[in-house]
Structure 1
Amino acid sequence: MDTKRLQKKLAQFASERDWDQFHNPKNLAIALSVECSELLEEFQWLTDSQASSVMESPEQAERIREEMADIASYLLQLASKLGIDLEAALLKKIDTNAAKYPVDKFKGSAKKYNR
């Protein structure tokens, strides 16, 4: 994913509509949370089996794709506003988690690390 290209495209989209005035970090974080909740709603009350097969329904699959795209959009816009290189932040977090959760101690376990 070319995050910089997507951020430019999103910024242009917002600028053409004069929406940048609404896209401050607080509003973008709230919008991101709302979109995450809308994704969760697609899974609410499903069994584990039903949740694993949601993409088999074309209508539900499309709703999930749209919610995930909304989430990505707001996350990319928020990162841009805050000057965060999302790719670098994610790579650093993966390294941090690898140190927190060494394979030999956490393989097959969902327990949280001890500080």
Structure 2
Amino acid sequence: MKKLQNEITDFLKEKDWLDQYQHQKELAAALSVEAAELLECFQWKSSAEALAENREEILEEVADVMIYALQIVESMGEDGTEVIRRKLAINRAR
């Protein structure tokens, strides 16, 4: 996953967005907006209907959420794989 985080960082550098948008608060807000856009894909539909009608849009919104989540992790100097593994360990212990 670190390779993917690096790829996202390289993209942000190419667009000159790295320093402007790498503040955790703004990234968390952007993640929330993208999650709301994902939810909107399902609004007033069953899961089956939403997937039949909006499959690609749903996948794009999921990707946006994941990108912002990985940006937050990267901005904190962490590896996404390890962060997820730590959380899984916590959840297993419950």
Q: TM-score range by the shorter chain?
A: 0.7 to 0.9
- Separation in structure 2 between the aligned mates of residue 52 and residue 84 of structure 1, nearest angstrom: 36
The residue that corresponds to 1:78 in the other structure is 72
Q: How many matched pairs?
A: 93
- Report the residue type matching 2:82 in the other structure: A
Distance of 1:5 and 1:85 partners within structure 2: 10
Q: 1:78 corresponds to which letter in structure 2?
A: I
Unaligned runs of 5+ in 1: 101-115
Q: C-alpha root-mean-square deviation of aligned residues, in Å?
A: 1.4
Q: What is the distance in 2 between the residues matched to 1:55 and 1:45? A: 13
Tell me the equivalent position of 2:9: 11
- In the alignment, what sits opposite 2:59? 65
Matches within 5 A, 1:35-114: 35-46=34-45, 50-57=46-53, 60-100=54-94
TM-score in terms of structure 1 length:
0.73
Aligned mates of 1:7, 1:20 — CA distance in 2: 13
Q: Which has the higher contact order (CA 8 A, sep 6+)?
A: 2
Q: Which amino acid in structure 2 is aligned with residue 16 of structure 1?
A: E
TM-score of the superposition, structure 2-length normalised?
A: 0.87
User: Whose radius of gyration is greater, 1 or 2?
Assistant: 1
> Hey, what does 2:24 align to over in structure 1?
25
After superposing on structure 2, the runs of 4+ consecutive aligned residues of structure 1 that deviate more than 3 Å are: none
Mark the runs of 5 or more structure 2 residues left unpaired by the alignment.
Answer: none
Deviation at 1:66, TM superposition (A): 0.4
